[in-house]
Amino acid sequence: MTKKYVHKYALFPRISHFHQIVRSISGGSSIGYSMIIMTNNFENRGLGVKRHLFRRSIFLIVLGILHGIYIWEGDILLSYGVLMLLLIPFARRSAKAIFIWAIVLWTIFVVLIGIGGSLEENITEFEDSESLYAYVEKTKIIYGTGTYQEIMDFRNNEEVDILNGVEILIAMLFLPFMMLPMFLMGMYAGKKKWFMNIDGCSQRLGLLAGTLIFIGIAGKSLHILAQTLWLSDLVFFIGTYSLSFGYICLIAYIYHQVALRKNMKYFEAVGKMSLTNYILQSVICTIIFYGYGFGWFGKLGVTTAFLIGIGIFIGQMILSYLYFKVFNTGPLEHLARMWTYFSFRGKNKRDKNCQASKA
């Protein structure tokens, strides 16, 4: 492998923070949407909204830290938990206020893009450096052949300087304006009850999905073709936002097609225990690729890895469906409820009192 191609192997979260941020943005709308659903549930039960959302955020933060240290450093739960903490004050605000805040933060982000230039430039410069080349080579060896302890030590202790102190400070100030608008738009969609009753407008939803996906692909393509333009990063993030909402609209459109709805039970099952399945994916994939498992790290092409990913997801759909034949809640989902409600049964006291009175 020559040094000019080293960027192809720089796929580790410690290096590609930019791409990890993009993944967090892509899932941000669903987190914002779910926060509104949880808020409504807490209010209907007469529970303290901020207190229970705070507990759920702490659970994600702790689980994310454990996930990153002991399983895989590409965790996104930690960032989701931190951003949930920042979004708690918005949980009971009006849809209009949330939308205005999203637009304001997005506008600031656009201005920062114009003034500050590209985050990708910093990463590109780093990817061409000698230190990155040495780090990637060492990573391939450790991850592909190392024991669990060796890989964990390398993951948690190996240092590689990506940004200097000033750049880190700028990035920390920059990130909220980049990530929060997507989360807030998810909250706005939850306030407006989008995707809940769309049987009468499914065709428009399908058209919207196609339009957003087209814009998203076009934006990401232009970013690749015109990287020298200062607007390339702005176009890239527009593409990211558009693709995220486009995929959400597409899934909602497919789900509400009468002919397909009866076949969605497997997707429903895997979604009902998404937290458990997320961690399970990390466990399965690290066993497949890391040295303490099959050791296929860096040995498979994109097509083979893609097919393995599809196979894993299909397997999870089947297992999730069978799991809910016996249980009502996923394992980690139950732990989250236990912590949120401070109850071993994962139910708040008022629910238990209501059940007791009915009995």
**Is 356 inside a domain boundary?**
no
Least trusted range by pLDDT, from 39-53, 216-230, 330-344: 216-230
**Mean model confidence pLDDT for the chain:** 81
244 and 276 part of one domain:
no
Q: Which residues of 235-270 are buried (b: 16+ CB within 10 A; e: fewer)?
A: bbbbbbbbbbbbbbbbebbbebeeeeeeeeebbebb
Distance, in Å, from the CA atom of 340 to the CA atom of 84, rounded to the nearest integer, reads 14
Say whether both 188 and 206 belong to one domain.
no
At 193 the pLDDT is: 87
* Residue 353 in domain: no
8-state DSSP, 301:
-
Per mean pLDDT, which range of 19-23, 91-95, 109-113, 252-256 is the poorest?
Answer: 19-23
In a domain, 207, yes or no: yes
pLDDT at 213 > cutoff 50: yes
Average pLDDT of the residues in 2-14: 36
249 pLDDT more than 70: yes
In a domain, 68, yes or no: yes
Q: Rounded to two decimals, what is the model's pTM?
A: 0.81
pLDDT for position 106: 86
- Of the listed ranges 98-112, 171-185, 219-233, the one predicted with least confidence: 219-233
For residue 167, what pLDDT is reported?
61
Range of lowest pLDDT (65-69, 108-112, 275-279, 340-344)? 108-112
Q: What percent of the chain has pLDDT over 90?
A: 43
Question: What mean pLDDT do residues 274-300 have?
Answer: 94
Q: How far apart are CA 90 and CA 183, in angstroms?
A: 11
Query: What band does 303 get if pLDDT is binned at 50, 70 and 90?
Result: very high
| Of the listed ranges 58-67, 238-247, 294-303, 346-355, the one predicted with least confidence | 346-355
Give residue 351's identity as a one-letter amino acid code.
D
Q: Are residues 237 and 105 in the same domain?
A: no
- Residues 105, 211 within the same domain: no
pLDDT at 17 over 80: no
Structural domain range at position 68: 14-194
Give yes or no: residues 109 and 56 share one domain: yes
Q: Which of 194, 213, 243 is the last residue of a domain?
A: 194
Residue 139 sits in the same domain as residue 203? no
Is the same domain home to 90 and 117? Answer: yes
Residue 3 lies in a domain: no
87 and 210 in one domain?
no
Average pLDDT over residues 350-358: 51
Verify that 44 and 135 share a domain, yes or no.
yes
Number of domains in the chain: 3
234 and 161 in a common domain: no
Q: Are residues 178 and 303 in the same domain?
A: no
CA nearest 49: which of 91, 95, 93, 98? 91
Token output for 10? 């720089």
Q: pLDDT band at 254, cuts 50/70/90? A: confident
**Per-residue pLDDT tens digits for 319-333:** 999 999 999 999 999
Quick one: 252 and 331 in the same domain? no
